[in-house]
Amino acid sequence: MIVVLMGYMGSGKSTVGKDLAKVLNYTFLDLDQYICEQENATIATIFDTSGEIYFRKKESYYLNEVLNSKENIVLALGGGTPCYGKNLNLLLDHPLVKLCYLKLSIPLLAKRLFTKRNKRPLINHLNSESELVEFIGKHLFERTYYYNQAHYIIDTDNTSQQETIETILMQLI
């Protein structure tokens, strides 16, 4: 089985994914980190030097590579991964994939992301939490169509990391 976590940045995909992988005795893989290792560059550098179209093509390539070469993994996607190209269909049609959307409300996303925005190129230009809320709202509106097609929608508002993991495990049984 390949457990794939998707959701907006800051929704907990990597944090939850690492602990979920331990519980399942699976390997954890963060797709963005995998891309950085394969390309020997940060995501920001790839965007700056080669552009978003190049990045999205590589993202699709590496997603396909991971899905077809590994089993028993927990895979955390980048926030935009399911929204581009044929990535969502690839995930939904793969016989081993269990796709989980970690859904977190806009105010909680903004609260988590505001203090860490300088490390996130997409939002580092925003100077107030209200600007961030507006940005996330617009961005999430565009992405929700894709996220809501997951096999499982896990509402993570007001839940601990352990409760989120337990909810995912219950869905997978």
Given this model, what pLDDT does residue 125 score?
A: 83
Percent of the residues in the chain that have a pLDDT greater than 70, as a whole number: 100
> Domains along the chain?
2-172 (3.40.50.300)
- pLDDT for residue 70 is more than 90: no
d(CA 141, CA 56): 20
CA distances from 170 to 7, 20, 70 (A): 19, 12, 23
CA distances from 103 to 12, 121, 150 (A): 9, 22, 11
**pTM here?**
0.94
Percent of the residues in the chain that have a pLDDT greater than 90, as a whole number: 81
Given this model, what pLDDT does residue 124 score?
A: 82
Given this model, what pLDDT does residue 30 score?
A: 97
The pLDDT tens digits for 116-160 are 887 777 788 888 989 999 999 999 999 999 999 999 999 999 999
- Residue 52: how many other CB atoms lie within 10 Å: 12
Q: What is the mean pLDDT of the chain?
A: 93
Residue 75 near residue 5 (C-beta atoms within 8 A): yes
From 15-29, 43-57, 131-145, the region with the lowest mean pLDDT: 43-57
